[in-house]
A and B are shown apart, each in its own frame.
Chain A
């Protein structure tokens, strides 16, 4: 009796309370605006509409936005429930699986190349983009056998890839994509009821399918085998329910843009309360998803009372990412320990001798450097460059090559090298082939530090790199402090990194929108670029870490080999696993921070260079160190070369070029590992 009463109370609070809160939030929401409208008039506008401008403001400018928030929040949360059940992954949601970025990319591509296909808000392309991205992530992370962390990491890489591609398109087609910027970070802005009218039937359709499959989804939670034994066609159920989830997501993305974390937070709230069966789970999540999103929008407008749009997606990330972190730490307590073995991709190694590989790489780098010296706005001029470097040449040209092109290429070489080493260490420490300074959240921390320096302390640009380093270190310490409880388990640490990264990006977005001044230079810098780098950066940030850390690493890096045997074996061999992890990760952070200080946040280098190195010389870290450095440097020199010359005199951020070079390779790598 008592238990029944309690359950009833919980149900009343969850559903009744949720609805009441939704009404309250809607009411607060429609009272926020640029014009003061008396409370009475607002009520009047709802109850007794007249043809006055204030009533129209409430009913045509404000109400659609609130309703759209509820629809979008509900749709995202419901799709989160489905994705979590089907992938058997508590961390699944449209944003963690990369579906958002794929959808967004598809819409941007369509807007530019096939504008005629943008009918109905581009829902068709958004849907195709979403479903394709899910397929890619699902297959690449090993389909049914994928562990939660693999799937989320794969989702993250795909997100990384698609956002780079999107930025490239935005650079090349600035005019066509202009209107997509804020939408790209999620906004509920509505001009009229069109958005609601369009999305409501489709979201309803998606929800009806989901409800129709609710019982089957319940069976699915018992495991595929049980479900099959109970006479269910597991494949069909999965397929159709995923279609419904992607439909729900792509409808919302096509109207309000990619809004993250709602699909993660809301289902977990309901699960925490204790609901396991899908009917109440779907209803509850949709209800609270609406609450989360609407609440975030209310909050956004409180934070920024000037009503220059603060992307609501940033607010949901700010609220949602601590949730992710909390969830991850909870997962750890459930003893999720399956991925502690070595996960290095070393099988296909050519096992070449170090004495063959390094000189060849060295020569290739020297040649590339020369090509870089010889290439510029006026094409390829090898003789001019040769004369400038070795022979008699016009002093003007000589200085021009030696003081503009050479230092810039050297900055690329050095920062590529230390980034690569940083990635190598992180991959060893976390025993995770997808680790990289940006995965751990350090790059994002550097960005926060840099912007904080400019915006909060408003000091000169000279201090930006210092701020970046401080930011990177602080974020590193936070990740480590959180990870310490989990004994730095690879899985936990990587997921913490993702949570922290999202948190950092949200802060960056908010700062960028909030400060109208002076962020231009910080933004260019954030996108990761070798633009205008010279001797100063080389001497200040890049030379000394190489002198200081690399010799240290030469002796120390062997411990990574021991770590790769697994924690228990390593402990058995007398290694103080925890402290070694911490020290190595600290060195890797410092290296990454130096590189970020010099060239901003460039991804993929730390990810790819160690992998290629492993393919060449096998998995012994002592051999990997020099090869990884050379490969990382080479990669960035190439990127720098193209960034200067492809669109001269306009520049392409080299960070984006690295992603373009790295992405195809990475997809191949992930596929290889999955099979």
Chain B
């Protein structure tokens, strides 16, 4: 127990030192921070109370060095004009998430998202850790002993009812913790603005009320697999906001916001317009399904109402991803085929 308090004390001291030092020179993440003990920062008295997946939580001070264990929240921080000091699964982040803000070299990899490396996190000496309950619940205590930890639960029954709303809630919570609420408001306004602009583009092309089915498609177990997004997903919500109508409905609540299925299901939605997100090297529509009459004979294929979107369209992201998504949907929709 004594050790714990010692550790906590050390952590607090280093946090304060880091805050003080980080004011004028923005980067300090790369260097060893224990050495630079300087005067205490001014906002030590600040404390916020938020509600996360584990309950109510009070965080003292304004976190500057944040370690993020799930990509969405790294993106949220980027949107708020901050850069995390450590990200789990850093190497593959760019393959899936592209919001146009690359990380600098000082951002450290802290292991995989499933098993983040506690030592690496601890070495970064963060003053906030952001994780997700479904992956990190088991190590919550350990994370908490390194730094205050905010734990979200984006795929709980409750959050899954409306993932778009949940995404905004999480974004605002993070903004509150890192004291960037003004910036958050600006980001969200920009996002709404983007939606409006994109809807205008759709209207000009006379496509704003199109019925759609949107899917993320990939090969899984040698089989072309389709994720059909349901209305509670961020993707569908964004598209609906731009005046489009999702033709796909699932009879049960899909916690991830999609139903995994095979090409057979598409027969039920032949009148809709078919949007698909597919990685270039795993394009099931040109690889496996080309020439297959069960695909070629679908009405939307015959009538050329399929719309391809880039493979790095991140459907589980934050506000910036939502903007990118809106643009990509409209790009795909208005492009002459």
Contact = CB atoms under 8 A, between A and B. Distances in A.
Nearest to A181: B221
B109 interface: yes
Contacts, number: 149
A650 B109 CA distance: 9
B267 A57 contact: yes
A403 B7 contact: yes
Contacts of B145: 403
Contacts of A187: 221, 223
Interface in B56-92: none
B283 interface: no
Given A189-B222, A306-B259, A532-B139, A399 B6 contact: yes
Interface string A173-195: 00000111111000101011000
A180 B221 CA distance: 5
A149 to B, nearest CB: 34
Contact of A404 (B14, B122, B137): B122
A521 B118 contact: no
A307 B134 contact: no
A376 B119 contact: yes
Contacts of B259: 306
Given A34-B264, A377-B120, 17 more contacts: A34-B265, A35-B267, A52-B297, A53-B297, A56-B292, A189-B221, A189-B222, A191-B224, A396-B14, A399-B10, A460-B137, A517-B255, A521-B134, A532-B139, A644-B117, A649-B119, A650-B112
13 contacts: A53-B267, A60-B294, A61-B264, A189-B223, A191-B292, A306-B259, A376-B119, A395-B6, A396-B11, A399-B10, A649-B109, A649-B110, A650-B117
B39 interface: no
B193 interface: no
B319 interface: no
A179 B221 contact: yes
Interface of B: 3-4, 6-7, 10-11, 14, 34, 109-112, 114-120, 122-123, 125, 134-135, 137-139, 141-142, 145, 155, 219-224, 255-256, 259-265, 267-268, 270, 288-289, 292-294, 297-298
A521 B114 CA distance: 8
A517 B160 CA distance: 12
A308 B256 CA distance: 14
A494 B122 CA distance: 45
Interface string A306-336: 1111000000000000000000000000000
B193 to A, nearest CB: 35
Nearest to A653: B115
A583 interface: no
Contact of B268 (A35, A181, A192, A644): A35
A51 B138 contact: no
A525 B264 CA distance: 36
A520 interface: yes
Given A34-B265, A307-B261, A404 B119 contact: yes
B135 A520 contact: yes
By size class, the interface of chain A is 35 or more
Contacts of A56: 292-294, 297
A651 B262 contact: no
Nearest to A532: B139
A524 B7 CA distance: 28
A459 to B, nearest CB: 11
* Residue from the set A35, A404, A650 with the largest chain B CB neighbour count within 10 Å: A650
Contacts of B265: 34-35
A239 interface: no
B294 A405 contact: no
A461 B294 contact: no
A194 to B, nearest CB: 10
A60 to B, nearest CB: 5
A182 B220 contact: yes
Nearest to B137: A461
Nearest to A647: B111
A517 B256 CA distance: 9
Given A57-B264, A61-B263, A651-B112, A192 B292 contact: yes
A15 interface: no
Nearest to B142: A532
A183 B139 contact: no
A192 B293 CA distance: 10
